[in-house]
A and B are shown apart, each in its own frame.
Chain A
């Protein structure tokens, strides 16, 4: 930003600038809720930090990271990491009742923070945790919440958040604003925003807060946590290469050729809704609107038509290679490379070609 006066850009544009209710104008700053589950920060939080940084720069305000948990030392480490991803300030609440995620204490902690420090924008990941928390925080604060955004921007006329999300199964996009309420809240799915580069050495301020809530006042008790045995399930969203199959693969057994290809190039296997519903692969591997959003460097789609609900989950992949026997399949409208042909012939050929070239490399190197 070249202009040092935060209000100048909108003034310069002159027209249509809505006078913000002074009560609302008191809300300043962009916040990102940093999701920690079992001690691990969910990558979506850093993706959001990158996005939040951009918004904060446009608004010329601070970017805050909200970090809740039981272990103060760990929260400090997370805060340090948050600064490297762009946060200016970290709001820390360390309290034993925040050990495991539970709706009631987390809602309480976050709403208290918001009421005390009054950010104008609050972003959360659209994970199971983030959606659970966002929904009850927004209702407690009686403010607007826009789910599953794919794009965030600032309206130059009124400093408002423009939150864009797919609607009607992805066939349309709509932009949603929360005009007369603060904070403006939004959730964003993992992998929708790009992961920012960390800036080592970048630091910020830490604000410590406390939570006034005793364990006896919390009704929900976590009895156990059963980690997913198959840890790779969670990895699909972050895979570098994905080989995905659709109904065009014809049969469950035919998926073997995809696993073979994946094995050769170290890829994950995914699929469209019909194939997860038919049980050809497990439900965790579904990609798309009601499945996962992915953005690998290479996405190989075999026998997938490219219906919009699937498309919204994978179109930001760097390279999309589509194999489909129908030259008019919609997937060819947005793939990088397209092969019109029978997946059951092309995929094994691809596996072979890769295998031999990789072998050549290996021998050479």
Chain B
């Protein structure tokens, strides 16, 4: 069985700051991490490998530094790594990204047919959850999003059964391979890499593919050119902060503060207070 896991290196957005004057993102010193949701995709692949035996290839599209993310995946236990890197890929939106990744997966399939593609639920930078569905459409894979558990998989019979989160409940779906599964977070705990895998991750060469090597002839389908969406404006959220009305600094006891808040609610939001049953005593 051949499993491809798509992972993305993202800036740790918890540590991103916006320049107070120029409104631009200050990336300096912001560590790059594997998109946290993708760790669950990697873990799922490794569990399938443990259960059924599989070759696990990790694939990313990004700048040369993104190879750090791939090496990390190999440290967890993935077998091979492919880095799609080319200036022509820059500026891709989800449509162009899914095209490039799909082409690379197609190419990987020439060596050994790909049975399963795994992605994270979404990224924390793009945050769209669109790349997975996009790849599935392009490769005509069965799409299974928000999967919390792969309950059954038959590599020989080419079937897969999953539980996927949907609004108000969990859907149990059975379908055929090849499929693309976007993995929900929290389903399992991420393993701790073994020392031999750590060594292998550092030493194993990364396969780097540029546009041609990834089997892409039409530059109009990738990067900025292949992206139907255009970012027309970037700005900071509503500058007009409404500073809170502060209560109680001078008020004294917690009880008095609480009373004051309720009084204020009553006088400034009479309708709400009334409906709550809170007319002034």
Give me the interface of A with B, judged by CB distance under 8 Å.
Answer: 35, 37-38, 40, 42, 100-104, 107, 127-129, 131-132, 134-136, 138-140, 142-148, 162, 166-181, 219-228, 231, 234, 241, 265, 283, 289-290, 297-298, 307-309, 312, 318-322, 331-341, 345-346, 348-350, 352-354, 356-358, 360-362
B228 within 8 A of A: yes
Chain B 62-76, CB within 8 Å of chain A: the 1/0 string? 000000000000000
* In contact, A220 and B173 (Cβ under 8 angstroms): yes
* In contact, A129 and B133 (Cβ under 8 angstroms): no
**Residues of A with C-beta under 8 A to B93:** 144
Q: Which residue of B168, B175, B269, B281 contacts A37 across the interface (Cβ within 8 Å)?
A: B168
Within 8 A of A (CB), among B220-270: 227-237, 241-249, 253-255, 257-259, 261-262, 264-265, 269
A117 vs B3: C-alpha distance when bound (angstroms): 39
* In contact, A172 and B235 (Cβ under 8 angstroms): yes
**Residues of B with C-beta under 8 A to A283:** 186
Known: A177-B230, A319-B265, A361-B279. A223 touches B186 (CB 8 A): no
* In contact, B167 and A168 (Cβ under 8 angstroms): no
* In contact, B229 and A221 (Cβ under 8 angstroms): no
Chain B 155-175, CB within 8 Å of chain A: the 1/0 string? 000000101111111111111
B112 within 8 A of A: no
* In contact, B278 and A354 (Cβ under 8 angstroms): yes
Q: Which residue of A103, A173, A225 contacts B172 across the interface (Cβ within 8 Å)?
A: A225
Within 8 A of A (CB), among B112-154: 124-134, 136-138, 142-146
Within 8 A of A (CB), among B62-96: 93-95
Give me the interface of B with A, judged by CB distance under 8 Å.
Answer: 11, 13-14, 16-18, 23, 25, 93-95, 98, 124-134, 136-138, 142-146, 161, 163-176, 186, 227-237, 241-249, 253-255, 257-259, 261-262, 264-265, 269, 272, 276-279, 281
**Residues of A with C-beta under 8 A to B11:** 168
Known: A135-B132, A139-B95, A169-B14. A341 touches B257 (CB 8 A): yes
**Residues of B with C-beta under 8 A to A350:** 258, 261-262
Known: A136-B134, A140-B137. A223 touches B174 (CB 8 A): yes
Which residue of A has the minimal Cβ distance to B131? A135
**Residues of B with C-beta under 8 A to A320:** 244
User: Nearest Cβ in chain A — how far from B12, in angstroms?
Assistant: 9
* In contact, B229 and A135 (Cβ under 8 angstroms): no
Known: A147-B129, A175-B233, A298-B272. A346 touches B186 (CB 8 A): no
* In contact, A168 and B261 (Cβ under 8 angstroms): no
User: Nearest Cβ in chain B — how far from A98, in angstroms?
Assistant: 14
A228 vs B236: C-alpha distance when bound (angstroms): 38
Q: Please name 8 further chain A to chain B contacts, defined as beta carbons within 8 Å, in addition to the given A144-B95, A332-B246, sorted by A numbering.
A: A131-B130, A146-B229, A172-B23, A176-B229, A228-B170, A307-B14, A332-B244, A353-B255
* In contact, A173 and B244 (Cβ under 8 angstroms): no
**Residues of B with C-beta under 8 A to A221:** 173-175
24 pairs of residues in contact across A and B, judged by CB atoms under 8 Å: A128-B145, A134-B133, A139-B138, A168-B25, A172-B23, A172-B237, A173-B234, A177-B229, A180-B228, A222-B172, A222-B173, A226-B169, A226-B170, A234-B167, A265-B276, A283-B186, A298-B272, A319-B265, A338-B246, A339-B257, A341-B248, A341-B254, A349-B255, A353-B255
* In contact, B16 and A169 (Cβ under 8 angstroms): yes
Q: Which residue of B14, B164, B168, B249 contacts A340 across the interface (Cβ within 8 Å)?
A: B249
A112 vs B236: C-alpha distance when bound (angstroms): 39
Q: Which residue of B16, B165, B230, B254 contacts A345 across the interface (Cβ within 8 Å)?
A: B254
User: Nearest Cβ in chain B — how far from A36, in angstroms?
Assistant: 10
A227 vs B142: C-alpha distance when bound (angstroms): 23
A132 vs B130: C-alpha distance when bound (angstroms): 8
Closest 10 pairs between A and B when the two form their complex, measured CB to CB:
A135-B133, A338-B244, A144-B228, A169-B13, A349-B254, A147-B128, A144-B229, A335-B244, A220-B175, A139-B137
User: Nearest Cβ in chain A — how far from B235, in angstroms?
Assistant: 6
* In contact, B25 and A172 (Cβ under 8 angstroms): yes
Known: A136-B134, A172-B237. A234 touches B255 (CB 8 A): no
Known: A139-B98, A177-B232, A349-B254. A336 touches B167 (CB 8 A): no
* In contact, B228 and A178 (Cβ under 8 angstroms): yes
* In contact, A339 and B127 (Cβ under 8 angstroms): no
Which residue of A has the minimal Cβ distance to B274? A361
User: Nearest Cβ in chain B — how far from A215, in angstroms?
Assistant: 13
Which residue of B has the minimal Cβ distance to A130? B167
* In contact, B171 and A225 (Cβ under 8 angstroms): yes
A31 vs B224: C-alpha distance when bound (angstroms): 27
Which residue of B has the minimal Cβ distance to A35? B167
User: Nearest Cβ in chain B — how far from A31, in angstroms?
Assistant: 18
A361 vs B126: C-alpha distance when bound (angstroms): 50
Which residue of A has the minimal Cβ distance to B11? A168
A227 vs B171: C-alpha distance when bound (angstroms): 8
Known: A168-B125, A221-B175, A352-B258. A179 touches B169 (CB 8 A): no
* In contact, B277 and A131 (Cβ under 8 angstroms): no
Q: Which residue of B143, B164, B235, B261 contacts A339 across the interface (Cβ within 8 Å)?
A: B261
A125 vs B216: C-alpha distance when bound (angstroms): 33
* In contact, B171 and A100 (Cβ under 8 angstroms): yes
User: Nearest Cβ in chain A — how far from B223, in angstroms?
Assistant: 15
Which residue of B has the minimal Cβ distance to A135? B133
**Residues of B with C-beta under 8 A to A35:** 167
**Residues of B with C-beta under 8 A to A37:** 166-168
Known: A144-B229, A339-B261. A171 touches B254 (CB 8 A): no
